[in-house]
Structure 1
């Protein structure tokens, strides 16, 4: 994978998307066999997350993919991430489920922390970076955002209805583009991981019905459009974060093709 990562970064990201999807499906199958939803899936994704952290930390790849501290200036330039807090808190208006055991809640929390980390690392870190290296920033934002949203179609295999899946894809596209813009402005995915995990945790612990989900999608879209326009204006004024131009120790120049 190391050669693929350096010479074909987009395909490297695609390979990890495939690994992630396969791991989730195997985990769901094992969880069903065990009789405890999310149990094996959580365990597999914890192992996968830790393995990626250890494997990428050497030579600066983890930092290159955005796992780095937030600079104060960048924190201020994105409105303190308040729009993301608003999007997450809106989910609380749906009310909490009363059918979950403490074990089920714990597994949801562990699973969604791993999902938040892995999806941000793969889609915002690996895929965004790969497209940006081989093409340009605009394509990286648009393509990684669209891919993130459409990629949620795999959840049909997890028992979601077509309507539920359509709403989730809509959420994924609008959020994916905003999160990609945030990465470009700040050079870090750490706040995005926190937001992603919290959003998924709240979404799984609250009551879901088609009507409320459509309302949440509409409200999220409004917030995201306004936030995206603001972030684009920041990029035009200041340009991308300086961290976006940095390379790991083993990569000194952009590649010529994806």
Structure 2
């Protein structure tokens, strides 16, 4: 088996274990939602995960390979217009409902930034690059996207909400297709990091501003379950469109 592919799997596995174990330890014995945890303190696990990924990237000299370079063209950056539109809507909805306290906003902003950077480095950068060295690009994208979604299902062990984690896993896999498309079309992982950060930030701000309701109905639970899927579906379809013809073009030919 290709050594780079094996190395990418090992690195991502260690990164995921750091995140899961770290967040479980920080959450303590009681189950707590990720939004509550992220709004009250800086999450230590993503900090450790970021340091780990940076060290690994420097040791193996993977910086350029995984896209830690400026976007090659301005046009490629403008391809992020669709997720940018959704992000603006998330923040407008948050403003309409009422933003959470400033301290909560700061914690959410920092934590979602850390998550956006590390998840893009780990999955769209290291794992996708490793998989592409072993498989054709379409198969590598599918593998990295499914792996990204599967990892999000493990959030259930932190929150205790396994059904919602399963829905989040499907949503994450769909989002991965869009982030991958932005990476390949821009030649840089940076646009995906920024979109990933602001997308998560907007979602957390929107949901954190909702008034608490102890009497959650079945209808509202269903909406919370399928809502993320509906938000990610347009981006997923747009990502597939951006990746059209990928089986016939190299990574370099995808840029633009």
TM class by shorter chain equals 0.7 to 0.9
CA distance in structure 1 between the aligned counterparts of 2:37 and 2:231, rounded to whole angstroms: 30
2:72 aligned partner = 71
1:144 aligned partner = 144
Higher helix fraction: Structure 1 or Structure 2? 1
Q: Residues 89-142 of structure 1, C-alpha deviation per residue, up to 9 Å, x if partnerless?
A: 343465367695544433322222111111111111111111110111111111
Cα distance change, pair 241–27 in 1 and its aligned pair in 2 (3 A): same
Q: Residues 27-82 of structure 1, C-alpha deviation per residue, up to 9 Å, x if partnerless?
A: 3244335999357762342243134324423664122111110011xx41464311
2:83 aligned partner = 84
Cα distance change, pair 59–25 in 1 and its aligned pair in 2 (3 A): closer
2:21 aligned partner = 26
Per-residue deviation, 1:166: 3.0
CA distance in structure 1 between the aligned counterparts of 2:206 and 2:75, rounded to whole angstroms: 31
Q: Give the gaps of 5 or more residues in structure 1.
A: 245-258
CA distance in structure 1 between the aligned counterparts of 2:229 and 2:140, rounded to whole angstroms: 24
Match of 2:233 among 206, 221, 225: 221
Q: How does 1:156-195 map to 2 (within 5 A)?
A: 156-159=156-159, 161-195=161-195
Q: Give the gaps of 5 or more residues in structure 2.
A: 31-35, 211-219
What TM-score, normalized by structure 1, do the two folds share?
0.75
CA distance in structure 2 between the aligned counterparts of 1:160 and 1:187, rounded to whole angstroms: 38
1:248 aligned partner = none
Match of 1:16 among 11, 21, 24: 11
What TM-score, normalized by structure 2, do the two folds share?
0.76
CA distance in structure 1 between the aligned counterparts of 2:72 and 2:147, rounded to whole angstroms: 28
Per-residue deviation, 1:204: 1.8
Cα RMSD (Å) of the superposition?
3.4
